Structure 1
Amino acid sequence: MKDIFDLVGRVLLSFLFFFEAYDYFAYERLNKEAMTIYGLTWNQNFFLYVAIFFLIVGAITLLLGYRMRLGAILLLIYFIPLTFIVHDFWTEIPGTDDYRLQSILFMKNVAIIGGLLIAATHISGRYRIRRIFATTKV
């Protein structure tokens, strides 16, 4: 049962990052406008495509259970600065809707960062690509 939960958790966590990579690619213009709003005006194409690369590679490694530490570190390199730059609820006026929304999104991202830290120190269960190849007789 532990192996099934491990697989389902990796699928759900990786789906989040696949979806975010798709969103960055599909709404490239809007993401560049958001980057400008948050003060990132230098070399936006580079940062956007590096973020997409980190998201896709990190999600693949989590999904397959192969080199999960590398994938989790790539995702952390992307996700930690994003969380503190975009969801800075402490700059909003307490009691407003923006304050509430940004604090909820900040805490959600902190929970995802916690999951990535667990994934970085975790060896995936029985359903990982390396184990499947090692035990399959061809």
Structure 2
Amino acid sequence: MKHITDLLARIFLSLIFFWEAFDSIKYFKTTKVSMTEYGIIWRQDLLLGGAIFFMIFGAVLILTGYRSKLGAILLLMFYIPSTFILYSFWNDPEELYRINSIQFMKNLAIIGGLMMVAVNGAGKYSIKRIFATTRLPKRYL
């Protein structure tokens, strides 16, 4: 049961990053406007393109289980700073304080899940393990 839970957790973790990357691509100009509102004006195309790459590449690594620790670290490099920039509820007015604090805590939970993948790896059901345990018959060698 633990191995199936590991697989499901990796699937759910990767889905949020695939969705966020798709959203950033679809609304590229709107995302750049949002970056300007948060004071991020230095090379927005480079930063946004890099963030999209980190999200897609990291999510693929976590989903497949191949180098999932690297994928988790890439996503942590993106997600920790963006969480503190986007949801700094301690600086928000009263009407935004509650919703941003909830979003901040949800992002901390996702960060915790990524840390668990970074420490524990992919588990039994991963592409890396399938390649390691699969042997070709001698007639194909």
The interval holding the TM-score normalised by the smaller chain is over 0.9
- In the TM superposition, 1:76-95 aligns within 5 A as 76-93=76-93
Percent identity over the alignment? Answer: 52
Q: Which residue of 2 aligns with 1:117?
A: 115
Q: CA deviation at 1:66?
A: 1.3
Counterpart of 2:100 in structure 1: which amino acid? Q
Q: CA deviation at 1:123?
A: 2.3
Q: CA deviation at 1:136?
A: 2.5
Q: Distance in 2 between matches of 1:20 and 1:101?
A: 19
- In the TM superposition, 1:8-27 aligns within 5 A as 8-27=8-27
Could you state the TM-score of these two structures normalised by the residue count of structure 1?
0.94
Q: Distance in 2 between matches of 1:110 and 1:54?
A: 18
Q: CA deviation at 1:6?
A: 0.6
Could you state the TM-score of these two structures normalised by the residue count of structure 2?
0.92
Q: Distance in 2 between matches of 1:110 and 1:67?
A: 23
Counterpart of 2:37 in structure 1: which amino acid? I
Structure 1 segments of 4+ aligned residues over 3 angstroms from their partners: none
Q: Deviation digits for residues 65-121 of structure 1, max 9, x if unmatched?
A: 11111111111110011011110100123xx33111100000001111111111110
Q: Distance in 2 between matches of 1:67 and 1:23?
A: 25
Q: Which residue of 2 aligns with 1:70?
A: 70
The RMSD of aligned alpha carbons is 1.0
Q: CA deviation at 1:133?
A: 1.5
Counterpart of 2:102 in structure 1: which amino acid? I
Counterpart of 1:11 in structure 2: which amino acid? I
Return 5+ residue gaps in structure 2 as ranges.
137-141
Count of aligned pairs = 136
Q: Distance in 2 between matches of 1:2 and 1:45?
A: 41
Q: Distance in 2 between matches of 1:36 and 1:102?
A: 19
Structure 2 residue 98 is matched with structure 1 residue 100: yes
If you compute each CA radius of gyration, which structure gives the higher value, 1 or 2? 2
